[in-house]
Amino acid sequence: MKVAILQFPGTNCEHDTAYAFEKIGAKTQIIWHEKTDFEADLIVLAGGFSYGDYLRSGAIAKFSPAIKTLQEHIKKGGFVLGICNGFQILLELGVLKGAMKHNESLSFVSKMQKLKIISNDNAFLKNFQKDEIISLPIAHGEGNFYADDDTLHYLYDKDMVLLKYLDNPNGSRDDIAGICDEKKRIFALMPHPERACEGLLGSEVGLKMFRGFM
């Protein structure tokens, strides 16, 4: 499997993400945001602070040249994964439903976070049991997911809610921590699975997630 990891000015998780996918046998390449001539089975928008989170998280990154290739990849039915800032970018692009606000506390949150698996009928979480409790690191200042009532009902009706927080750390609507698109080809979550890929450091939950794409 070929994995392309997009890198914007301010991205800081691209090398961790590449390391994790290489551990499970994927071929990875880190793609600078100005590049458009690339292809992959899975395109990952890694975490960090693209363009310093100026204006609004992900709002500037969506205009980068590489995004055109990402959109073409989506039209062809390719897999996409957005992690943290990547989630924010996918929301700004409108390829996923909802919006992201500042944490309810107005403070940056960085800690291990318990999560519940809501849907495993998809490539990303197929290796988990429904309602299984896992823990992943979180690190964000704008992770407060918002959707209006109609959008929220749509997300549930189409089985697009992937993960929920236990003891909601940021005020996200209905405790939502991760979602996907209706076709279950585009996935996004605020927690960082690439930071839970080394048993020596305490967890390989992230590898279990990434193996779903293999």
- Residue 166 is predicted with a pLDDT of 98
Q: What is the pTM of this model?
A: 0.97
H or E element in which residue 111 lies: strand 109-117
Give the integer Cα–Cα distance in Å for 171 and 109. Answer: 12
Q: What is the mean pLDDT of the chain?
A: 97
pLDDT, tens digit, 9 for 90 and up, residues 29-80:
999 999 999 999 999 999 999 999 988 899 999 999 999 999 999 999 999 9
Exposure string over 141-160, b if 16+ CB within 10 A, otherwise e: bbbbbbbeeeebeebeeeeb
The domains of the chain are located at 2-213
**What is the mean pLDDT of the segment spanning 156-161?**
98
CATH architecture, domain 2-213: 3-Layer(aba) Sandwich (3.40)
Average pLDDT over residues 71-91: 98
Catalytic residues: 84, 192, 194
Model confidence over 4-37: pLDDT tens digits?
A: 999 999 999 999 999 999 999 999 999 999 999 9
The average pLDDT across 131-160 equals: 98
